[in-house]
């Protein structure tokens, strides 16, 4: 990387000088194995992704502070999914750098290694083990030594059971632990998948349209859930549902992508009032 970053001064390629200080209040979280000495968990710098000459990402700059809940919005085709694909190693950038903490170069790692390094991703469609119970899904996802887990005599410790219980409450599925995951509603499956990601103790959580297809009640509960995670995890949420974004963004930063670059960034109220954002995305 070419420079030392100060997350209190977001490096996105928009004018943020009039915006609030977003960066420093998350410092109490100390991600294991990821060097976040400068306060950020993710740095994307000048990322370009070309598909046969078409730039899905065009000189994109964005960083996420440790413990931040960042919402990413933007019109269809803005490059949101491609950005997540770059972060998770599914797509290699044509140019630019992507760092997890100060020293982990994501462009050099496989998807598997990136997941292992602590970046968890939830795709739009839930992918739970439908033939297993809710409890078993969380157990299967739990971060532990796989050699121990596969032995015949494996028994969970009370600490591990407590961890699953806490997760069940968080994802609003306590009381449903013995149900087959395949019998859950769409919203419940989404929560279960978020729970499965949390059981892996990721350092950065990427959520792609978590409330797509949910009822209003489920959407409201998902907002509550994410607000409970605020400050405890570093989270990036891509979403089109503006009511939901407003609920979870609160006073945090919202980034607007357009044509592969950052068009605007700031508090929800600021981006909603931004003429350029209204023009390309929110409509007049
Ligand atoms: N593998 C690919 N080959 C060619 N073009 C692609 C490829 N993947 C994405 N694109 C194009 O790149 C642009 C960005 O797509 P992307 O899916 O990242 O946007 P998005 O912001 O996630 O959109 P949406 O909100 O609809 O999910 C689109 O024009 C898309 O057609």
CA distance 238 to 233: 16
pLDDT band at 1 (very low <50, low <70, confident <90, very high): very low
Question: What band does 158 get if pLDDT is binned at 50, 70 and 90?
Answer: confident
Whether ligand 1 lies within 6 angstroms of the CB of 87 is answered as no
Which DSSP string do the residues of 48-68 spell out, in sequence order? EEEETTEEEEEEEEEEEETT-
Tell me, yes or no, if the pTM score tops 0.90.
no
Q: Is 25 left (phi over 0), alpha (psi -120 to 50) or beta?
A: alpha
* Ligand 1 atom showing the smallest separation from residue 79 Cα: 18
**Ligand 1 pocket member 81 (CB < 6 A):** yes
- Torsions phi, psi for 105 (to 5 deg): -85, 105
At 121, is the secondary structure helix, strand, or coil? strand
- What is the tens place of the pLDDT at every residue in 67-92? 999 999 999 999 999 999 999 999 99
Q: What is the DSSP letter of 232?
A: T
Average pLDDT value for the chain: 85
Ligand 1 closest atom vs CA 78: 21
Domains in the chain, ordered, with CATH? 24-282 (3.40.50.300)
Q: Is the ipTM of this complex over 0.90?
A: yes
Question: Ligand 1: does its nearest atom lie under 6 Å from the Cβ of 76?
Answer: yes
Hey, which of 51, 86, 91, 210 would you mutate to test ligand 1's pocket, going by the most ligand atoms within 8 Å of its Cβ? Answer: 51
Does ligand 1 lie within 6 Å of residue 56's CB atom?
Answer: yes
Chain position carrying tokens 């509550």: 224
Q: Report the atom number in ligand 1 closest to the C-alpha of 91.
A: 1
């Amino acid at each position: 990387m070419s420079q030392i970053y100060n997350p209190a001064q977001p490096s996105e390629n928009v004018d943020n000088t009039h915006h609030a200080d977003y960066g420093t209040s998350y410092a109490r979280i100390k991600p294991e194995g990821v060097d976040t000495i400068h306060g950020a968990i993710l740095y994307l710098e000048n990322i370009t992704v070309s598909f046969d000459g078409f730039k899905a990402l065009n000189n994109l700059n964005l960083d996420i502070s440790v413990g931040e809940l960042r919402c990413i919005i933007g019109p269809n085709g803005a490059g949101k999914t491609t950005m997540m694909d770059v972060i998770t190693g599914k797509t290699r950038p044509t140019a630019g750098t992507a760092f997890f903490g100060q020293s982990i170069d994501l462009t050099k790692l496989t998807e598997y290694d990136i997941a292992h390094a602590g970046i968890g991703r939830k795709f739009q469609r839930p992918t739970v083990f439908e033939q297993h119970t809710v409890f078993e899904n969380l157990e299967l996802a739990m971060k532990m030594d796989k050699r121990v887990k596969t032995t015949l005599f494996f028994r969970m410790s009370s600490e591990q059971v407590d961890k699953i219980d806490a997760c069940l409450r968080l994802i609003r599925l306590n009381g449903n632990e013995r149900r087959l995951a395949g019998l859950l509603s769409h919203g419940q499956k989404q929560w279960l998948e978020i729970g499965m990601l949390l059981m892996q103790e990721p350092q950065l959580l990427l959520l792609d349209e978590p409330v797509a297809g949910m009822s209003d009640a489920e959407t409201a509960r998902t907002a509550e859930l994410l607000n409970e995670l605020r400050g405890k995890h570093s989270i990036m949420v891509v979403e089109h549902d503006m009511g939901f974004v407003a609920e979870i963004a609160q006073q945090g930063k919202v980034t607007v992508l357009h044509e592969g670059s950052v068009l605007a960034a700031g508090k929800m109220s600021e981006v909603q009032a931004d003429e350029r954002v209204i023009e390309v995305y929110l409509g007049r």
